[in-house]
Chain A
Amino acid sequence: MTVQHLTDDLLSAFIDEELISQERRKVDNHLKECDRCQAQLKSLRRVSQSLRSLESLAPPSTLDMVVQRHLSIERPKRWSERHASRFRIPISTPTLLLFTVVFGFAFLVFQVSQKVDEVEQRTPSSDLVMVVTQRVGERVFMGEGDGFRETVTQGEPVDREVLWGDEDVRELMEKEPDLKKLAGREVILAVGPEVWRISGPE
């Protein structure tokens, strides 16, 4: 029958009194019967004692002097100072200028396009037809009542694609006789909150 000897982990923790009671009982019982583990325990204990017998080293006076001198010069760094480098943009000044110009230009273009969209999506003043946008070739005209004026917009939001012959359009033409003048042409029309594209033959 083979004997299960105690591990160095158990023996070492036994020396340090860091075993739980169940483990300690097991080690105690085993040690009573096993010479080999007793010898191992003794040698590990000797090592631990040799280490503990090393004298404590006295810190040299120069340690005091140097640390005190540094402390008198240095003040503790605040959070913002320690993390300042994290927030610093790691690019040179010319690159930064280039970025500013590019972003500035992009912002201007965005602003202009926003204004154009505002014209396009202008809410009509009545529930039916107030703003008529007419496309002639590539040019787009926008009108209210009598005349049309040209806009610079390209592309438009369209909610419904309808034909001149559709019932909805006919109904609309009865309420808005001016619309008849545009019949048969492609017309983009703001109808209440919607935008219609009317096309096809009358």
Chain B
Amino acid sequence: MALAALVNDALHEGEQAISADLDMPNCTDRDLVLRFKYGEKEAFEELFKRYKGMIFNLTTRMAGNPSRGEDLAQEVFLRAYRYLDRFRGKSSFKTWLYRVAINHCRSQLGRRALPMVELDDEDRGVEVADDRRGPEALAEAHDLANRVNQALGELPRKYREAVVLRDLQGFTYQEIATVLKVRIGTVRSRIARGRSKLKTFLEGRE
């Protein structure tokens, strides 16, 4: 009797472990991609949930305004959905998705500098609501954010891509090199040139 109970418990634990493995939020990106390729459309929805914020931030910073950024983000996810079976898993899904996004932004936005739209509180999202800074500090931060945003818009595309991926998305140089398909040395010099130009723009506006 005791033995039977032990066996039952073991079986029950096994089932739980399997169902936890199959649970979408616990899956790795790679597993979700595989599941999608085997016909589970829901796996893509989980990938969308994971990356929608990052991609929206990237496209908005590249486009210079949230409305255009939203359109671009939508298109990026639809492209990813259509072409995910091309993804061979040589790089991470994140890197692949960012490459899709960067390529799409390039084709839609061109090389020119962009007129940056001043972001209002609604655009900045929920974090502003939690801000406990005083009104003066808040206004100052607001002003700086707008100046940085404007300066970002004046950067040539190749520098903007590198700087956004590094300072706003937190990518390593190696990851940026993979996304942009350039050498690490090129990433290093693009980030340096981008920051240097931003410095000039920001100092000019002070």
Residues of A in contact with B (beta carbons under 8 Å apart): 7-9, 11-13, 16, 18, 43-44, 46-48, 50-60, 62-64, 66-68, 70-71, 74-79, 82
Contact = CB atoms under 8 A, between A and B. Distances in A.
Contacts of A18: 172-173, 188
Interface of B: 36, 41, 44-45, 48, 52-53, 56-57, 60, 66, 69-70, 73-74, 77-78, 81-85, 119, 123-128, 141, 144-145, 148-149, 152, 163, 166-168, 172-173, 188-189, 191-193, 195-196, 198-199, 202
B172 A47 contact: no
Contact of A12 (B44, B125, B172, B192): B192
Contact of B52 (A9, A53, A54, A59): A59
Given A13-B173, A62-B70, A44 B78 contact: no
Contacts of B166: 16
Contacts of B36: 76
Contacts of B84: 76
Given A9-B188, A52-B168, A74 B81 contact: yes
Given A8-B196, A70-B78, A54 B202 contact: no
A38 to B, nearest CB: 15
Contacts of B119: 57
A48 B41 CA distance: 39
B125 A43 contact: no
Contacts of A16: 166, 173, 191
B70 A63 contact: yes
B56 A59 contact: yes
Nearest to A62: B70
A76 to B, nearest CB: 6
Contacts of A66: 74
B168 A54 contact: yes
B120 to A, nearest CB: 11
B66 A60 contact: yes
Contacts of A71: 41, 44-45, 48, 81
A74 B192 contact: no
A13 B70 contact: no
B56 A63 contact: yes
B148 A50 contact: yes
Given A12-B191, A54-B145, 6 more contacts: A13-B192, A48-B167, A58-B53, A64-B52, A71-B41, A71-B44
19 contacts: A16-B191, A18-B172, A47-B198, A47-B199, A48-B195, A50-B198, A52-B168, A56-B57, A57-B66, A57-B69, A57-B119, A57-B123, A58-B127, A60-B66, A67-B74, A68-B45, A70-B81, A77-B83, A82-B83
